[in-house]
Amino acid sequence: MIALLGRAASFNDRTALISQGDGYTYRRLLKTSKNVAANLLDGAADLGEARIPFLIPPSFGYAAVQWGIWAAGGIAVPLCVLHPLPSIQYVLEDTQADRVIVHSDYIDFLMPLEQEMGITITSLESVLDENTHALPDIAPERRAMILYTSGTTNKPKGVVSTHANIEAQITTLVKAWEWGPKDHILNILPLHHVHGIINVMGCALWSGACCEFLPKFDAGAVWKTIESGRLTLFMAVPTIYFKLVSFWENLSQNEQKSLSGAASKLRLMVSGSAALPVTVLEKWRDISGQTLLERYGMTEIGMGLSNPYWGERRPGHVGFPLPGVEMRLVNGENDPVGENETGEIQVKGPSVFKEYWQMETATQKAFTKDGWFITGDIAVLNKGYYKILGRDSVDIIKSGGYKISALEIEDILRRHEVVEDCAVVGLPDEEWGEVVSACIVSEKEGIDTARVSNWLREQLPAYKIPRNYIVRRSLPRNVLGKVTKNELKKMFSEP
């Protein structure tokens, strides 16, 4: 049996999840996930790594379906409830799935795809129905999950992790951050990315702890939950801490005192997925007395670097390699560099993903000949602590903790009738990390960029929509004709 499910059996009547105010025990989660597995198998012995996408908001149903797919030998492909139809269609086509499990709130939304693609829409309710079936033995090396990540290609890539990868990603964090059955965490993150899936829900369920869901981030609701005193842990992206600080700053002194007192009692608060501005770390320390633990990770590797649970958490730094993670910094010739020298992060270890889904060349290019995964992140080792300096590509933007490909947005923007050419960049921003910004090339006068934005919203999720536009007759280019994006960034502040 898959280790995560095997462990659940020993946690029996402990509360595994709180979803829409209702508590669900480990016993119930395990039983329901077995129902899901039996319904999916429908008489077959093993799903044999069939890709099973599911569109379910963070909830008990999400967890039961994820586990059910794994128990039946399928590959779990979580879809994002915030994505428009074309983004979902892309994943369904790329994974060549023949069915998708859908929460009742989203069935009408997906229905057009049933006719267009011939995919079967299976309701969440129907897979939860009571059922039993012999479950297959799943070897740890088998594929377990595909998560889509944006990169230096214009289409997102499917990152395939095995059961062994997932177990390694979870266990290194459980050990480093001392998770235990008494822990209680609030999940406010989307469940189609590693941060929510592995660091929050995965670690909680591995440990016999409780994971409580808020269906969507809301600063007031998060503070209210912190105030209740039931949380021991909290994990979020820097934008969320920024929003929690803003909310707190607008409260009366009495309210501030009460929330600060409650926040100071958690045993650990973690920030990651994007650089944590030192100003936010300091404000949060003033408000809560907590020094945020900043760590570094990537969809392809899980978590790689972490400030210590015990010991100095150094602002502006991401600590050192987690247990089981091998890490090196290399120069342009792939030779390791010394302390205080800038280099690219490369990673090895059991948590590193298996492959990009059906992209052999991209997979090969992502690894060195001797098996190091090339992250594209630039860092320096400074007095024993790693510091992330940036990325080797200007085409990758981090906004609100989401990784966004400028090329993907440009590709779609170019299809708009008023756009002759375009270039997309991320402009620095304290709240969002970077803000997606687009330069449209057009000879026409008076381009209505709000209309362009509305058109884009039909094709891309909200976090990929440019928030700033400029319209120019041409783009800045170097002698080779390549757009000089660092020059372009400056043009957004020109009058």
Q: Which parts of this chain interact with ligand AMP (CB under 6 A)?
A: 149, 194, 272-275, 294, 296-299, 318, 375, 377, 388, 391, 398, 403
- Residue 477 CA to residue 423 CA, distance in Å, equals 11
Minimum Å gap between C-beta 434 and ligand MCA is: 8
32 binds, among ligand AMP, ligand MCA, none (CB under 5 to 8 A by kind): none
Q: Is 195 in the site for ligand MCA (CB under 6 A)?
A: yes
Of the residues 190, 208, 277, 349, which one makes contact with ligand MCA according to CB under 6 A? 190
Site string for ligand MCA, 231-270 (x = CB under 6 A): ------x-xx------------------------------
- Closer residue to ligand AMP, CB minimum distance, 109 or 463: 463
The strand ranges marked E within 8-117 are 15-19, 22-25, 51-55, 75-78, 99-102
Q: 23-31 contacts: CB < 8 A, separation 24 or more?
A: 24/60, 26/205, 26/208, 29/60, 29/63, 29/64, 29/67, 29/205, 30/5, 30/67
CA atoms within 13 A on the CB side of 157: 24
Q: Which of 189, 204, 233, 305 binds ligand MCA (CB under 6 A)?
A: 189
Which residues from 353-412 bind ligand MCA, rule CB under 6 A? 399-403
CA distance 384 to 42: 54
Q: Are strands 396-399 and 402-405 parallel, antiparallel or unpaired?
A: antiparallel
Q: Which tokens sit at 297? A: 């990770």
Residue 467 touches which of ligand AMP, ligand MCA, none (Cβ within 5-8 Å per kind) = ligand MCA
Among 52, 262, 435, 440, binds ligand MCA (CB under 6 A): 435
**Residue 463: contacted member of ligand AMP, ligand MCA, none (CB under 5 to 8 Å, by partner type):** ligand MCA
3-state secondary structure of 312: coil
297 lies in the site for ligand MCA, by CB under 6 A? yes
Measured CA distances, 278 to 292, 379, 430 (Å): 10, 17, 10
DSSP 8-state symbol, 313? -
> At closest approach, how far in Å is the CB of 190 from ligand MCA?
5
Q: Which does 377 bind (CB under 5 to 8 A by kind): ligand AMP, ligand MCA, none?
A: ligand AMP
Out of ligand AMP, ligand MCA, none, what residue 190 binds, judged by CB under 5 to 8 A for its kind, is ligand MCA
Nearer to ligand AMP, 275 or 394 (CB): 275
Main-chain phi, psi angles of 96, to 5 degrees: 50, 45
The closest alpha carbon to 485, from 395, 410, 400, 398, belongs to 395
